[in-house]
Amino acid sequence: MSAVAAVEAAFRRADEVRAGPDGLNAFVHVDREAAVAEAAELDRMVAERLDVAGRPTHDAGRSPLGARPIAVKDNIATLGLPTTCGSRILAGYRSPYEATVVRRLREAGAIVIAKTNMDEFAMGSSTEQSAYGPTLNPVDRTRVPGGSSGGSAAAVAAGIVRIALGSETGGSVRQPAAFCGVVGVKPTYGRVSRYGLVAFASSLDQVGVFGKTVDDAAHGLSVIAGHDERDSTSIDLPVPDFRAAARESLEGLVIGRPREYFPDTLDPRIRDVCDAAAERLRGLGAVVRDVSLPHTSLAIPVYYIVAPAEASSNLARFDGVRYGLRLAGDGLTGMYEATRSGGFGAEVTRRILLGTYVLSAGYYDAYYRKAMAIRALIRQDFVRVFADGVHVLLTPTAPTTAFRLGAISDPYEMYLSDIYTATANLAGIPGISVPGGTVDGLPVGVQFLATHFDEYRLFAAAYALERSLTEQGEHP
Ligand code: GLN
């Protein structure tokens, strides 16, 4: 298929499912003409056997992704489309440069057809905290798609694109992937460049990938992963071909089932989906073992100290001087106050206040320093089980299926959505969510976690589970 045909097909599907503000509200910035023109340019280069830089190539027409429409979360910088983080404070903001992940995808033949809706500054678990209004879950439009990368998850679930980018600080790719019935991968901290990702909590943030299938996610991650001299936190390690993991045998793979992720209070139907997945993998030669990660229950309190602390510092740059919105006030301080009060929504304001508080003199030791010490224990739990011979952990991605729009108004209850995902961000390890089944017709995600830089094993387990479910006609 030509690039133009692929992009036009994606837009047709977007119209069919009403992806825009009158429907799913998954897309917040779209420029059809520009996307089609870019596709036409790509087709021309393929015809003339040029690569993206305009150099002659023998590989034309066989670019790694092959003219694929993709969607990108609104906190990842793109040339051509605004980058507004779902926030009023960045209304109309256009980045003068492009994120490395987007550049790499374009060079591989991808065309960005839209920026996707998200919780403001990626703070949230439902995509209801967006200045553009909530995104709906394509599986059931009365429900949330999860968050904060809900627009990207919905775009993939609705069949508009097969690959979309999201970002992860505490679960924002894996949890919406689980809620929408698609695949979502969060790479190891340092695996993917964050150049051009708007910072939320810098010790936790990573770009992640949504895929319609495991292979789509593996494909996307293979393209974006690897060292970038523009991000000194990206690690210079070889990137395996994650798609080759499809051929791995599970013979001898040791899967840990952490008991803290299966408490008595867990919905038994979600537990059953996970246990059925473990059973399938056992049938393929894996060994399943009970393990313990004793500090798991501290992850949410720790995350909601560390992430707001870093956010309060990162978001100080949005002051009405350099980016987006500026509201008039009395003098310079008045302008700051008016801009920040009027530009940030309720959840972002809450996080800035909370973060400023835990970092302030007198509270730093009581909260922030203590949280950092416990964070080290959470990381240590993982290091220990992986050193004990466990290759991957299998857990639920989220404690519930997609909840109804407006159902959760208590912020703390919303924070509990991240209970099984935030641990990986705190520890820096990679994780993937794969559709494992349904409960009352709603998707349930099975999560795999692995040790640092072992995404390959995650993919091996994910491919095997997906294949086993598909072969038996049970793929949700
Ligand atoms: N839901 C979590 C939060 O609100 C995680 C968000 C994310 O991963 N960006 O902070």
Which domain range does residue 316 map to?
Answer: 301-365
Which residue, 315, 340, 365, sits at the end of a domain? 365
As a whole number, mean pLDDT of residues 419-442 equals 98
Q: How far is the CA of 124 from the centre of ligand 1 (A)?
A: 5
Q: Are residues 145 and 284 in the same domain?
A: no
Q: Are residues 171 and 275 in the same domain?
A: no
More confident residue, 336 or 476: 336
**In this predicted structure, what is the pLDDT of residue 61?**
46
Q: 167 an active-site residue?
A: no
Which residue, 338, 365, 392, sits at the end of a domain? 365
Q: What's the sign of the alpha-carbon dihedral 447, 412, 148, 160?
A: positive
C-beta separation of 455 from 187 below 8 A: yes
Q: Are residues 282 and 314 in the same domain?
A: no
Query: Which pLDDT tens digit goes with each residue over 311-364?
Result: 999 999 999 998 889 999 999 999 999 999 999 999 999 999 999 999 998 899
Whole-structure pTM value: 0.96
Q: Are residues 260 and 382 in the same domain?
A: yes
C-alpha–C-alpha distance, residues 285 and 211, integer Å: 26
Q: 433 an active-site residue?
A: no
* pLDDT of 53 higher than 80: no
As a whole number, mean pLDDT of residues 267-282 equals 98
**In this predicted structure, what is the pLDDT of residue 60?**
45
Share of the chain above pLDDT 90, in %: 91
Q: On the CB side of 119, how many CA atoms lie within 13 Å of its CA?
A: 30
Q: Which atom of ligand 1 is nearest to the CA of 417?
A: 1
Domain count within the chain: 3
Q: Are residues 393 and 456 in the same domain?
A: yes
| Catalytic hit among 73, 186, 234, 433 | 73
**In this predicted structure, what is the pLDDT of residue 66?**
73
Q: How far is the CA of 432 from the centre of ligand 1 (A)?
A: 16
| Catalytic hit among 126, 148, 193, 222 | 148
Is the link from the previous residue into 234 a cis peptide, with omega within 30 of 0? no
CA distances from 68 to 81, 105, 161, 412 (A): 18, 9, 8, 39
Q: Are residues 291 and 310 in the same domain?
A: no
Q: Are residues 310 and 402 in the same domain?
A: no
Q: Are residues 8 and 84 in the same domain?
A: yes
**In this predicted structure, what is the pLDDT of residue 1?**
81
More confident residue, 232 or 63: 232
* pLDDT of 58 higher than 60: no
Is ligand 1 within 6 A of the CB of residue 124? yes
As a whole number, mean pLDDT of residues 449-475 equals 94
Confidence of residue 45 (pLDDT cuts 50, 70, 90): confident
C-alpha–C-alpha distance, residues 149 and 159, integer Å: 16
Is ligand 1 within 6 A of the CB of residue 307? yes
* pLDDT of 214 higher than 90: yes
User: Kind of pairing, strands 163-168 and 206-211?
Assistant: antiparallel
C-alpha–C-alpha distance, residues 53 and 408, integer Å: 48
Token digits of residue 373? 């010490």
Q: 130 an active-site residue?
A: no
- What region does 276 belong to: left with phi over 0, alpha with psi -120 to 50, or beta? alpha
Residue 165 lies in a domain: yes
C-beta separation of 217 from 173 below 8 A: no
Residue 373 lies in a domain: no
| Catalytic hit among 95, 130, 152, 172 | 172
CA angle 361, 367, 371 (to 5 degrees): 135
Number of Cβ atoms within 10 Å of the Cβ of 350? 14
The DSSP string of 147-187 is SSSHHHHHHHHTTS-SEEEEEESSSTTHHHHHHHTSEEEEP
* pLDDT of 476 higher than 70: no
Ligand 1: residue of 121, 172, 173 to mutate (most ligand atoms within 8 A of CB) is 172
As a whole number, mean pLDDT of residues 122-137 equals 98
The DSSP string of 15-65 is HHTT-STTTT--EEE--HHHHHHHHHHHHHHHHTTB-TTS-B-S-TT--SS
Mean per-residue pLDDT over the chain, rounded: 95
Q: Which atom of ligand 1 is nearest to the CA of 304?
A: 10
Domain harbouring 120, CATH code: 3.90.1300.10
- The count of residues in the chain is 476
Ligand 1: residue of 174, 418, 423, 425 to mutate (most ligand atoms within 8 A of CB) is 418
Q: Which of 315, 327, 324, 344 is nearest to 94 (CA)?
A: 324
Q: Are residues 144 and 233 in the same domain?
A: yes
Q: Which atom of ligand 1 is nearest to the CA of 347?
A: 4
Q: How far is the CA of 303 from the centre of ligand 1 (A)?
A: 9
Residue 371 lies in a domain: no
Number of Cβ atoms within 10 Å of the Cβ of 404? 11
